[in-house]
Structure 1
Amino acid sequence: MLTKVFPIELKAGRQEEAEELVREFAPLGPGAEEGTLSFRVYRDPARPDYLLFVEHFASQEAYDAHTGSAAYKELIAGRFADLIVEFVEIDHELLVAIP
């Protein structure tokens, strides 16, 4: 399993717009992809203009398919990218899980 974590700083005042795009993207992209095991986006109530993406994929190939999808290109690499100040892509390996 491949785990991706993205802390994302948004442009000031763009939180609501970013959240709307993520809600639109979820069923069209990750929700329709066989290799996307989970897709979660968190907001920090104490930190405006920030989102945290935590995503799990079956493999690197599944992640590549995810980022190559039409929905990703239009909504995330396209419209969502215009709302970002900075993001970091961090790969993680699962250590412990409780079902």
Structure 2
Amino acid sequence: MLAKVFPIPLKPGKQAEAERLVHEFAPLGPGQEDGTLSFRVYRDPAKPDFLLFVEHFADQAAYDAHTGSAAYKELISGKFADLITEFVEIDHELVVGL
């Protein structure tokens, strides 16, 4: 399994628009992908203009399919990318899972 974490700082005042795009993307992208095991996006109530993405994929090929999808290209690397100040991608390896 491949685990990805993306702490995403947003441009000031873009929280609502970013959340709208994530809601639009979820059923069109991850919701249709066999290799996407989980797709979760969190907001921090104490930190405006910030989202935390936590995603799990079956393997690298599944992640590549996810980021190569038409929905990803239009909504995430397209519209969503215009709302962020920095893109950080962190790979994680599972140590313990319950």
- Cα RMSD over matched residues? 0.4
Q: 1:19-58 residue pairs with structure 2 within 5 A?
A: 19-58=19-58
Consecutive unaligned residues in structure 2, runs of 5 or more: none
Instruction: Give the fraction of aligned pairs with identical amino acids, expressed as a percent.
Output: 81
- For the residue of structure 2 that corresponds to 1:86, the secondary structure is coil
Task: Report deviation, 1:19.
Answer: 0.1
Scaled by the length of structure 1, the TM-score of the pair is: 0.98
Scaled by the length of structure 2, the TM-score of the pair is: 0.99
Q: Which runs of 4+ in 1 moved over 2 A?
A: none
- For the residue of structure 1 that corresponds to 2:66, the secondary structure is helix
Alpha-carbon distance in 1 for matches of 2:76, 2:87: 12
- For the residue of structure 2 that corresponds to 1:63, the secondary structure is helix
Q: More strand by proportion, 1 or 2? A: 1
Report the counterpart of residue 97 of structure 1 in structure 2.
Answer: 97
Consecutive unaligned residues in structure 1, runs of 5 or more: none
